[in-house]
Structure 1
Amino acid sequence: MNLKKTVTLLLVNIFLCIQVSAQQAAGAQDFRAGKGHFELNGKPFLIRAAELHYPRIPKKYWEERIQLCKAMGMNTICIYIFWNLHEQKENQYDFTGQNDVAEFVRLVQKNGMFCIVRPGPYVCAEWDMGGLPWWLLKKKDLQVRTGKDAVYMSGLKKYMKKVGEQLAPLQIQHGGNIIMVQVENEYGTWGDDSQYMAAVRDVVRSSGFDKVQLFRCDWSSNFDRYQLPGVAGTLNFGAGSNIDEQFKKFRQVNPDAPLMCSEYWTGWFDQWGRPHETRGVDTFIGSLKDMMDRGISFSLYMAHGGTSFGQWAGANAPPYAPTVTSYDYDAPIDETGKPTDKFFAIRNLLKNYLNPGESIPEIPKPVSEMVAFQDLNLKNFASVFDNLPKPATDEDPVTMEFLNQGWGSILYRKTIPATGKKSVLHIEDAHDYALVFLDKKYIGKLDRRLNEKNIELPSFSKPVQLDILVETTGRVNYGQAIIDRKGINGNVILENNGKKDILKNWKMYALPVNLAAENGLKYKNSQASGPGWYQAHININRIGDTFMNLTGWTKGMVWVNGHNLGHYWNIGPTQTLFLPGTFLKEGSNEIVVYDVMAKDNRTISFTEKPVYEIIADSSLLHNRGGEQPDFRNVQPVATGSFTGEPGWKSTSVKPQNTRYIALVALNAQDSKDTSASLAELEVTGEDGKAVDPQKWKVVYADSEEVITANNSADKLFDHQESVIWQTSLSKQTPYPHTVIIDLGEEVKISGIRLLPRIDKSRKGMIRDFKFYISRKPFTFSKK
């Protein structure tokens, strides 16, 4: 070896020794997936993690929420990183202030806890577009969660590099507290492309996470859809699950792997127009104890949900179901940061499973108290019609992404000729809530949740100005409908005198979500009303957290001193928005409410507790009143019996075209049980793969629970295994129980697959069934 090489090697060794010594001085450690258990510095380590989301918690409250999790018995905090939060405009990254995730992780370490990081790029989390940035949608043929789209993969790599710059130095091997980093998120529910997952794994590694343990998470029903060498596997499931059944197949495939439930769902999220979700303490705590008794690591999703401030609440599909602003999640720590009964049940359980010398600290004192203020009347008003920007023009309606707008509302305008008689306006696909005006007079609305597309227009003898104001809720964060462009997708058609005219030549006015906070509005102290912004100031001499009660208002958003509190909607279940005291100041505070409807009562009130009230609408029930389906002249294509064992049940049919399917449950596994339940229903195409349910719609369900729980029949095809269709619990009816689904188009099918409920309960589990299909709607007869 020559002298030059010798000196070079010597310098390299000196550098490595210095680096290792520096890491040891900083407390560098090691964490990895060992044989049958995780290992911290070579010794078995059981992860007791609590999921928190830093954007859903005001920065001032971060440390208190971390301390609450430790006082519940946790040793680790688990976090998502939200790509679209940190890159709201392409190539413009923000990791400062409320977005300073590195500071959050350091606070976790300061409080003696480890951290698990889940950077995506896709995260779900009931977050707008599942964390993917809206500007990707400017590519017309965009594909996501695949290595086949260069724009997606290029953006992914640049984003992950920025995450690495922030957090890679905080890996446990460098003296930090990050023990694991996740690759993608629940990919098995989306696809089976092992090459894509390997590409994401390699991007994560090359972004600086080259030493930390990587992991992936999926469900017990789909974890084996793809392979990912060098990455630990974990499973996600909900409260009340049968732990042995959840891990049964995973143990068989991975006999030496450590076991972890990376998302143990402590509750569930609320959706607009649906009942408030809760999960019982008894069911929840039993499965948690089962995991502790078996030495299974876990992460509570959520330990504390917080609030999806601003435009960040997402949506599920199918069917389209936007998520409310509150992300309380019925979690152990409520939206305001207060411990609940679940918190104390977990704390009392985990104190029995601590390591020698380990203790649970005292519960920290609240950083803020709950208060209520006097009612406030918002006298100032700025009309949408008086505050329109310069329009864009195009022959056809254009979605807001192609106008370089991420969130908010968009107004479509054109003049239409006289009709002479009533006509019908047909909007092919409005995302998400379209209000129609003629000469600025409100005519009606179209709600995407209800699949509304037609609205009757009155006759008019001269040309009129047609305005379509589209107000958006969250982008779909789950499933194939995640490509969710906002505004009008498709044509607007005027049907008059038997003619159908596609309306052309539109003016489009972008109304971005931050318009109110930029103070460019023309307010008037006026009784005038309509879609627009309502403003007032409130004087405060005592700062604290509160809830703003929007009962009586219709639909929109609220800003307090420029802070966007998020969406409200009078259909419930939430009628309040959480207002953290850290958004307030002593003295004068500006409050702005954007509402899409005319308002006579402009008063808002404040309360120390959230208000839940649901306004029932036609989306909740799929029953035809005094009618029932008539199958007397129809032969079932499949009949059979299912065993009471858990897991998917399959039955095949002779391949044939159909548009309508009907499942008739004849009885339950328990002969005394009159109820029926089912977690998922899949239709198998002639290629043997599940048919995409994006166009499906429930036509009929004889019974469904929509009052005490969100168990309507459309939960059969929502791809959420822990949310089920269940017949009414308050008004029990005897078998048979029937659900009819319109597939939206003719499909050649070869079978069906059914998944019974996956929790410990056997209530409503179906035994005998019949399955009908038809190319035309089924007939109904009087009961």
Structure 2
Amino acid sequence: HYPRIPKPYWDQTCALPIFHYPRIPKPYWDQRINMCKALGMNAVCLYVFWNSHEPKPDQFDFTGQNDLREFVKLCEQNDMKVILRPGPYVCAEWEMGGLPWWLLKKKDIRLRESDPYFLERVDKFQKAIANQVSDLTIANGGPIIMVQVENEYGSYGIDKQYVSEIRDMLRKNFGNEVTLFQCDWSSNFLNNGLNDLIWTMNFGTGANIDQQFAKLKEVRPNSPLMCSEFWSGWFDKWGANHETRPAADMIAGIDEMLSKGISFSLYMTHGGTNWGHWAGANSPGFAPDVTSYDYDAPISESGQTTPKYWELRKTLAKYMDGKKQTDVPSLIKPIAIPSFTFTEVAPLFSNLPEPKSDAEIRTMEEYDQGFGSILYRTTLPELKQPALLTVNDPHDYAQVFVDGKFIGKLDRRNGEKALTIPACKKGATLDILIEAMGRINFGRAIKDFKGITGNVTVTVDNEGHRFVCDLKNWKVYNIEDTYDTYTSIGEFYPIETFTPDENGRLPRGVYRGTFNVKKPSDTFLNFETWGKGLVYVNGHPMGRIWEIGPQQTLYMPGCWLKKGENEILVFDIIGPKEAKSEGLREPLLDQLLVQKPLTHREEGQNLVLSSETPVYTGSFAPGNGWQEVKFDKPVTGRYICLEALNSINGKDVAAIAEMYVLDDKGERLSREPWIVNYADSEDVARMNRSGDKTFDLQESTYWSTVPGIPFPHAIVIDLGATHSIEGFQYLPRMESDVPGAIKDFKIYVKNTPFKY
């Protein structure tokens, strides 16, 4: 809206870095802003994380890492404009997408909808944000040039009324002069687009730029064009490969957009760190994110320049209208810290807090606990033979003990809910220790309760008679993730008091030690010998560790270290093999140690389709964008197979970015219960291109077969239940040459599993 923008700015193309102030130590904010300015960028695009600013209802925090006003003022002092994105939902691979966990204490709440309680809380939050920075909009002479309404709502639902209510709140709190916009994907932006807002697109490196803006130009031929999130890299998940994206693809996209007068925000220009328990999780299924949010960005997690940085700086120099780029500020030189050992441990099971008593299972939220671990304890009936213990459902990582002996684990990532427990006497103690990881931050599954969300049963088969016991009468021990919890957990003992168990591990519990630093600077603390848990240094929550990788180190900012002695605490729920660490000059972000294969095909397994009859045979058209096929009549089944016979470009690779199955009403089935049963080939040696990427809600990620393996290629999905199906939707990759696009194909649907 040109009346809302000063005329001298009308012809200005914006090149914006995206980075998040809570993910960067406050003493480094000014340097990081200047690193972005030295690239040739002229504004900063930033999310506001609701859950970070309102940890408890009506208790707002805008201090320290949360000092939003100070960050915006620093941008202004460095002659950088600001685009503010206050949500209330932000995604950002952040816990619950930025929504505060305490909303879930109202179990029937409808998140991101016109739920009266949700809207009441959003309004209070938006008002608190406005109280901090509404006087800093460009209409008031400040740096804030635009404010975003919600975030990628088209990936959540279709609800213009709700989006309108968020818009109205922002108008009320920021005034009528502020320019408001909304962002979405090119495939869904019209579903919730409001006529009085600016519309922007989000897409990743390698995308066909013209195709991404084609629909917007058609419906708004005079609209300014902006990619509000141009994804420079990607985020990492526990148990998967470290993600990278080619610099050449990023540079080519930026160069093309600027040459066509298209503004962009680079997500991320500088990723940062998910301190403490703030890392989120992806869905469908459950894929928790690691602590590092390096994102393969031009500026690394620790603020170092990368090859991407220098290539980007060179490209942006062409669009400076003759102005000279500012000098790159001095970088922080990382240090090494000699190996040190921890000296004492407070074993968890001998230092439990006072329990609560409950006849029924309840979630963490019902005990007013947002983060950390929770132990559920009860007694077992007499079991004369081994029995099946079923936990419905463990959120997120459960360990089962009988009379103090470890029996096994249930990992939500793998859909594990049951294991066999041994025969025991009546009254034997059952312990279920659950660690909550980040709440899902994308899609409908953001309503993500922690702990045990249903019930626990024991099933015994005795001489043909099946007996199911629903366990009751629990003692519940809440172990909140806070520094105070771990320092006051109980009695600490010298580590040499304990000997490793049969698996070579020291006890679960809180480990404490110190290390010395001559001259504080950034380093990377190494946790390769540890199990799974959370780390605090000098009271600062540094993040989560997990031996499976790919991340093995934690970024330790020098500004949080002291000259001389520094305290370190590790709460390890598995137990370390060695209680030691060291400070490295380089991070270990690509060291994957998992037993479960990343692929969905067992050794020697081959799909047998010779006796199957396809329900549909056809050909996909060339080009980008969604394609849909409708069957001649509805078919019933639980298992669906897409067999790709060849590709459009004649090469031997097949790829699918996203796919949906349509029910007999033409509606998309929920993909939450989907599981990949089989994929004949998955390119996971270098990148995460496994079969589950076909339904991960991310249009820029994709399943790809390994180059050199000939057609046909097939993927089999278990839909989780039997459905009446009448169609299929397919999205190829978004690059202009559409690599891996499938040409001829067959679709099979069955009630029973396919044969291999």
Letter in 1 for 2:479: L
Match of 1:609 among 586, 609, 616: 586
- The question of 1:519 aligning with 2:487 is answered yes
Cα distance in 2 for partners of 1:277, 1:516 equals 35
Measured on the aligned residues, the alpha-carbon RMSD in Å equals 1.5
Q: Give the alignment of 1:161-180 within 5 angstroms.
A: 161-180=127-146
Letter in 2 for 1:50: P
Q: Give the alignment of 1:598-637 within 5 angstroms.
A: 598-611=575-588, 612-618=590-596, 620-637=598-615
Letter in 1 for 2:569: V
Q: Give the alignment of 1:465-544 within 5 angstroms.
A: 465-497=429-461, 498-516=466-484, 519-521=487-489, 522-526=491-495, 527-528=497-498, 529-544=506-521
Q: CA deviation at 1:640?
A: 0.4
Instruction: List per-residue Cα deviations over 1:544-579 (Å, max 9, x = no partner).
Output: 100011102111111001101111111111111101
Cα distance in 1 for partners of 2:355, 2:36 equals 50
Q: CA deviation at 1:470?
A: 0.3
Residue in structure 2 matched with residue 693 of structure 1 by the alignment = 671
Residue in structure 1 matched with residue 97 of structure 2 by the alignment = 130
Cα distance in 1 for partners of 2:375, 2:659 equals 39
- The question of 1:262 aligning with 2:228 is answered yes
Cα distance in 1 for partners of 2:280, 2:435 equals 14
User: Would the aligned equivalents of 1:391 and 1:507 in 2 still touch at CA under 8 Å?
Assistant: yes
- The question of 1:455 aligning with 2:432 is answered no
Residue in structure 2 matched with residue 651 of structure 1 by the alignment = 629
Letter in 1 for 2:439: R
Letter in 2 for 1:767: K
**Any gaps of 5 or more consecutive residues in structure 1?**
1-31
Structure 1 counterpart SS, 2:734: coil
Instruction: List per-residue Cα deviations over 1:94-141 (Å, max 9, x = no partner).
Output: 111211111000000000110000000000000000000000001111
Residue in structure 2 matched with residue 360 of structure 1 by the alignment = 325
Residue correspondences, number: 741
Residue in structure 2 matched with residue 93 of structure 1 by the alignment = 60
Match of 1:562 among 539, 542, 545: 539
Residue in structure 1 matched with residue 343 of structure 2 by the alignment = 379
Residue in structure 2 matched with residue 733 of structure 1 by the alignment = 709
Q: CA 1:418/1:376 → structure 2, altered by over 3 Å: closer, same or farther?
A: farther
User: Would the aligned equivalents of 2:624 and 2:736 in 1 still touch at CA under 8 Å?
Assistant: no
User: Would the aligned equivalents of 2:268 and 2:297 in 1 still touch at CA under 8 Å?
Assistant: yes
Q: CA 1:204/1:105 → structure 2, altered by over 3 Å: closer, same or farther?
A: same
Q: CA deviation at 1:40?
A: 4.8
Residue in structure 2 matched with residue 574 of structure 1 by the alignment = 551
Cα distance in 1 for partners of 2:7, 2:563 equals 48
Residue in structure 1 matched with residue 502 of structure 2 by the alignment = none
Q: CA deviation at 1:33?
A: 5.0
Structure 2 counterpart SS, 1:700: strand
Cα distance in 1 for partners of 2:737, 2:272 equals 29
User: Would the aligned equivalents of 2:532 and 2:575 in 1 still touch at CA under 8 Å?
Assistant: no
Q: Give the alignment of 1:304-323 within 5 angstroms.
A: 304-323=270-289
Structure 2 counterpart SS, 1:162: helix
Cα distance in 1 for partners of 2:205, 2:7 equals 28
Letter in 2 for 1:120: G
User: Would the aligned equivalents of 1:427 and 1:493 in 2 still touch at CA under 8 Å?
Assistant: yes
Match of 2:254 among 288, 294, 318: 288
Letter in 2 for 1:363: V
- The question of 1:683 aligning with 2:661 is answered yes
Instruction: List per-residue Cα deviations over 1:374-414 (Å, max 9, x = no partner).
Output: 11111211122122222222222111011001100000001
User: Would the aligned equivalents of 1:517 and 1:562 in 2 still touch at CA under 8 Å?
Assistant: no
Q: CA deviation at 1:242?
A: 1.2
Instruction: List per-residue Cα deviations over 1:607-658 (Å, max 9, x = no partner).
Output: 1111121123325110032122222332111110112111111111222322
Q: CA deviation at 1:733?
A: 1.6
Cα distance in 2 for partners of 1:675, 1:168 equals 52
Instruction: List per-residue Cα deviations over 1:81-101 (Å, max 9, x = no partner).
Output: 000000111111111121111
- The question of 1:708 aligning with 2:672 is answered no
Q: Give the alignment of 1:192-203 within 5 angstroms.
A: 192-203=158-169
Structure 1 counterpart SS, 2:249: helix
Q: Give the alignment of 1:663-678 within 5 angstroms.
A: 663-671=642-650, 673-678=651-656
Match of 1:745 among 721, 732, 749: 721
Structure 2 counterpart SS, 1:217: strand
User: Would the aligned equivalents of 1:39 and 1:45 in 2 still touch at CA under 8 Å?
Assistant: no
Q: CA 1:39/1:642 → structure 2, altered by over 3 Å: closer, same or farther?
A: farther
Cα distance in 2 for partners of 1:515, 1:546 equals 21
Instruction: List per-residue Cα deviations over 1:673-700 (Å, max 9, x = no partner).
Output: 1111110010112222211100010011
User: Would the aligned equivalents of 2:355 and 2:477 in 1 still touch at CA under 8 Å?
Assistant: yes
Cα distance in 2 for partners of 1:705, 1:453 equals 29
Letter in 2 for 1:589: N
Cα distance in 2 for partners of 1:40, 1:274 equals 49
Matched residues, percent identical?
45
User: Would the aligned equivalents of 1:80 and 1:117 in 2 still touch at CA under 8 Å?
Assistant: yes
- The question of 1:77 aligning with 2:44 is answered yes
User: Would the aligned equivalents of 2:207 and 2:735 in 1 still touch at CA under 8 Å?
Assistant: yes
Cα distance in 1 for partners of 2:7, 2:159 equals 32
Letter in 2 for 1:496: V
Q: Give the alignment of 1:38-53 within 5 angstroms.
A: 40-41=7-8, 43-53=10-20
Structure 1 counterpart SS, 2:454: coil
Structure 1 counterpart SS, 2:642: strand
Cα distance in 1 for partners of 2:76, 2:22 equals 19
Structure 1 counterpart SS, 2:88: coil
Cα distance in 2 for partners of 1:39, 1:334 equals 35
Instruction: List per-residue Cα deviations over 1:40-73 (Å, max 9, x = no partner).
Output: 5463111110001000000000000000000011
Structure 1 counterpart SS, 2:617: strand
Q: Give the alignment of 1:16-27 within 5 angstroms.
A: none
User: Would the aligned equivalents of 1:188 and 1:226 in 2 still touch at CA under 8 Å?
Assistant: yes
Q: CA deviation at 1:462?
A: 5.0
Residue in structure 1 matched with residue 25 of structure 2 by the alignment = 58
Point out the more displaced range, 121-130 or 582-591.
582-591
Letter in 2 for 1:374: P
Match of 1:416 among 376, 380, 403: 380
User: Would the aligned equivalents of 2:657 and 2:703 in 1 still touch at CA under 8 Å?
Assistant: yes
**Any gaps of 5 or more consecutive residues in structure 2?**
499-505
Residue in structure 2 matched with residue 583 of structure 1 by the alignment = 560
- The question of 1:639 aligning with 2:617 is answered yes
Structure 2 counterpart SS, 1:623: coil
User: Would the aligned equivalents of 1:34 and 1:257 in 2 still touch at CA under 8 Å?
Assistant: no
User: Would the aligned equivalents of 1:436 and 1:443 in 2 still touch at CA under 8 Å?
Assistant: yes
* Runs of 4+ deviating beyond 4 Å: 32-35, 515-518
Structure 2 counterpart SS, 1:94: coil
Q: Give the alignment of 1:236-247 within 5 angstroms.
A: 236-247=202-213
Letter in 1 for 2:596: S
User: Would the aligned equivalents of 2:284 and 2:695 in 1 still touch at CA under 8 Å?
Assistant: yes
Q: Give the alignment of 1:78-227 within 5 angstroms.
A: 78-147=45-114, 149-227=115-193
Cα distance in 2 for partners of 1:280, 1:227 equals 32
Cα distance in 1 for partners of 2:184, 2:605 equals 42
Letter in 1 for 2:493: K
Q: CA 1:68/1:690 → structure 2, altered by over 3 Å: closer, same or farther?
A: same
Cα distance in 2 for partners of 1:558, 1:599 equals 13
User: Would the aligned equivalents of 1:273 and 1:617 in 2 still touch at CA under 8 Å?
Assistant: no
Q: CA deviation at 1:601?
A: 1.3
Q: CA 1:523/1:194 → structure 2, altered by over 3 Å: closer, same or farther?
A: same
Structure 2 counterpart SS, 1:352: helix
Structure 2 counterpart SS, 1:144: coil
Cα distance in 1 for partners of 2:335, 2:483 equals 29
Residue in structure 2 matched with residue 11 of structure 1 by the alignment = none
User: Would the aligned equivalents of 1:450 and 1:619 in 2 still touch at CA under 8 Å?
Assistant: no
